[in-house]
Structure 1
Amino acid sequence: MSAPKILVIPGSHRASSINAQLGATIVRQLEKDGASATLVSLADYPMPIYDGDWEEENGAPEGAKKLAALMSEHQGVVFVCPEYNASITPLLKNTLDWLSRDVGCKPYAGRAFALASCSPGALGGIRGLSHMRDVFINVGADAIPAQLCVGPAGSAFDDDGNLTNERQISLLQNMSAKLIERAKQFS
């Protein structure tokens, strides 16, 4: 069986995003565990704020169609979720909403999903992940139970971008192994 392909999508595209940094860390772990992993930036998939009237007039934006097609080429997807006010960022929520529309394929079907977050706070963004799971239930995304929450972000990484906390490293390894195991079922 070939290595499953896993797409890693940070929910922030800020230049210094700690969630993009965590995304790169996740990619390294997935590859170490035998997956083929790809990190993308939502900046490369622009989408207007979801508006039913806009959609009726224009259809789905090209950014949503391209991201959906890319997701469909992978057996697993990790969303790395910043937390805004204990919930999902506007960028990430908008992306999730567009991907649930007619984008030429069904990006939530037939693949495994994992959730991770990173936050300056001690909880590591866990409150936002519960909201992600609520959205996933509604769109039919198969999210594994294992997840990763990293905080406080200021001391979470060494100079090479690796996690420093043994518990968080263990959670990363567990999430990676469980996602790869589940993604192989979609190969």
Structure 2
Amino acid sequence: MNILAFAASNSRKSINKSLIAYASTLLAHHTVEVLDINDYEMPIYSSDLEEAHGIPSAAGRFLDKITSADALLISFAEHNGNYTVAYKNLFDWASRKNRDVYQGKPTIMLSTSPGPGGASSVLKLARESAHFFAGNVIGSLSVPNFYDNFDSETGRLADEALNTQLMGVLAALQSQ
């Protein structure tokens, strides 16, 4: 199975990128491509820009990556209870080219933050809106208190209960 994994954050030091990197190692029997959304920078979406210049080619390249994958693994960073601007902009442009951004792919959605909420607000938003964009969410997990629960030296979840939960969520891909 080919899995496309990415953090919905453009921060170079994103803790969601760390979570994606770790989760990817738990999918050893699959081919995992980790994508960086910084490779898909575009102007802030507006219908005026779309009318004047069309949809940027980066939106098409992002959709092509999703098309070539069998499944998706996404970890959402939370800014003020919502998506990061970088991801929302990429998603908005991509949805103008193909409303079915997720293309029916089995999707695992994760989130984490430094606080006890674990970016659960944006994770809930992503899960609940996915079906509007041909999302097929087969599992999700919010990881609270990232710096307390993730060992940056080993690059893995230090909390065994959370680690077990993550492995259980990822196991949903095995049945696909």
After TM superposition, the score normalised by the length of structure 1 is: 0.87
Shift of 1:71: 0.9
Structure 2 Cα separation of the partners of residues 20 and 169 of structure 1? 16
Question: Is the 8 Å Cα contact of residues 6 and 75 (structure 1) preserved in structure 2?
Answer: yes
| Letter of the 1:137 counterpart | H
Question: Which residue of structure 1 aligns with residue 142 of structure 2?
Answer: 149
Work out which of the residue numbers 120, 125, 141 in structure 1 matches 2:114.
120
SS of the aligned residue for 1:121 comes to: coil
**What are the superposed Cα offsets for residues 48-103 of structure 1, whole Å, 9 maximum, x if unpaired?**
21111211222211211111101110011111101112222111222222221225
- Identical aligned residues as a percent: 29
Question: Which residue of structure 2 aligns with residue 21 of structure 1?
Answer: 18
Shift of 1:13: 2.1
The alpha-carbon distance between structure 1 residues 95 and 181, as it changes in their structure 2 partners (threshold 3 A), is farther
Shift of 1:27: 0.8
Question: Which residue of structure 2 aligns with residue 181 of structure 1?
Answer: 175
| RMSD across aligned positions (CA) | 1.6
Structure 1 Cα separation of the partners of residues 93 and 106 of structure 2? 19
Question: Is the 8 Å Cα contact of residues 5 and 35 (structure 2) preserved in structure 1?
Answer: yes
Q: Could you list the runs of 4 or more consecutive aligned residues of structure 1 that deviate by over 6 angstroms after TM superposition?
A: none
Shift of 1:107: 4.1
Aligned residues: 175
The unaligned stretches of length 5 or more in structure 1 are 183-187
2:165 paired with 1:168: no
| Letter of the 2:8 counterpart | G
The alpha-carbon distance between structure 1 residues 179 and 96, as it changes in their structure 2 partners (threshold 3 A), is farther
Shift of 1:179: 2.6
Question: Is the 8 Å Cα contact of residues 101 and 134 (structure 2) preserved in structure 1?
Answer: no
After TM superposition, the score normalised by the length of structure 2 is: 0.92
| Letter of the 2:149 counterpart | A
